[in-house]
Amino acid sequence: MASLTVENYVKTIALIAARHAPGSAVATGELAQALSVSPGTVTGMLKTLSEASLATYTPYEGARLTEAGQRLALNIIRRHRLLELFLAETLKMSWDEVHEEAEHMEHAASERLIDRIDNYLGYPAVDPHGDPIPRADGSLAETEGTPLARCRPGQPFRVVRVMDQDPAFLRYLSECGLDLHATGELLENRPEAGAVVCRLGQRSVALGLTAAGKVLVVPDDPMSSSS
């Protein structure tokens, strides 16, 4: 059974790699920043993962998960995201609370418990942030979506995923009315001003481009939304 540290490393490598081009290595510095440890600590751990055949490590390039490492990472991600949804659905915890709690629980929950939660929730596709939940067979269907920062003015949209689980950021989005599945219309996209302006219900909301880049949306059909 993998240690908590090993599980955290392979999960983090997988999550960072998912944001990169396919086949790209995850840099040591990027991994160190994500885990809040020194680059030297990361280098030592990557050598351990390499010896365990969970990752390959190339100095000055970075790490890539092996097939075994990817399977382990998806298993932990599956645990985490199902636990997040379970906490939100059964205990009615808000989407800014569930991430930290799931971080504590994901290493201790048994496979049997996770499978029972999956069944209880009806085999959900996404967690409270719109992140796709890996299936029991290890497959993962990525959600579609375009960053709000890249949408054109006049585009009706629906929020399908948020790429940052920082509690303060999620609370800010809730205050703006940009929760998961929220619908609106992009009124202005002004890169020169570093902001977008959206209509959400009866109010207009300005959002910085960095924040808007973390909110994924799909085109929304107002007629189907009202039916």
- pLDDT tens digit sequence for 11-24: 999 999 988 888 88
Residue 227: which pLDDT band, with cuts at 50, 70 and 90? Answer: very low
**Domain final position from 24, 39, 65:** 65
Distance CA 166, CA 127 (A): 15
- Residue pointed to by tokens 């939660």: 117
- Please report which helix (H) or strand (E) contains residue 167, including its range: helix 167-176
Residue 151 has what DSSP assignment? Answer: P
Beta pairing partners, 206? 197
CB-neighbour burial class of residue 152 (10 A; exposed 0-12, middle 13-18, buried 19+): exposed
Residue 112 falls inside a structural domain = no
175: CATH = 2.30.30.90
Q: Which token pair is 172?
A: 């800010």
Distance CA 65, CA 48 (A): 13
Residue 186 falls inside a structural domain = yes
Residue 106 falls inside a structural domain = no
Contact 81, 99 (CB under 8 A): no
Residue 37 has what DSSP assignment? Answer: S
Over 80: is that where the pLDDT of 205 sits? yes
Residue 225: which pLDDT band, with cuts at 50, 70 and 90? Answer: very low
Distance CA 48, CA 6 (A): 9
Over 90: is that where the pLDDT of 221 sits? no
pLDDT confidence of residue 87: 97
Residue 81 falls inside a structural domain = no
Over 50: is that where the pLDDT of 178 sits? yes
Specify the number of domains making up the chain. 2
Q: Among 61, 69, 67, 65, which Cα is nearest to 43's? A: 61
Residue 181 falls inside a structural domain = yes
Beta pairing partners, 158? 183, 218
Contact 50, 44 (CB under 8 A): no
Over 60: is that where the pLDDT of 224 sits? no
Pairing, β 203-208 against β 195-200: antiparallel
**Domain final position from 39, 65, 91:** 65
CB-neighbour burial class of residue 165 (10 A; exposed 0-12, middle 13-18, buried 19+): buried
Range of the structural domain that residue 27 is part of = 4-65
40: CATH = 1.10.10.10
CB-neighbour burial class of residue 31 (10 A; exposed 0-12, middle 13-18, buried 19+): buried
Residue 79 falls inside a structural domain = no
Backbone angles phi, psi at 126, to 5 degrees: -135, 160
Q: Among 44, 49, 41, 48, which Cα is nearest to 14's? A: 49
Higher local confidence (pLDDT), 215 or 225? 215
- pLDDT tens digit sequence for 73-105: 999 999 999 999 999 999 999 999 999 999 999
Backbone angles phi, psi at 65, to 5 degrees: -75, 145
What number is the average pLDDT over the span 152-162?
95
Residue 127 falls inside a structural domain = no
pLDDT confidence of residue 223: 59
pLDDT confidence of residue 23: 85
Residue 141 falls inside a structural domain = no
Residue 1: which pLDDT band, with cuts at 50, 70 and 90? Answer: low
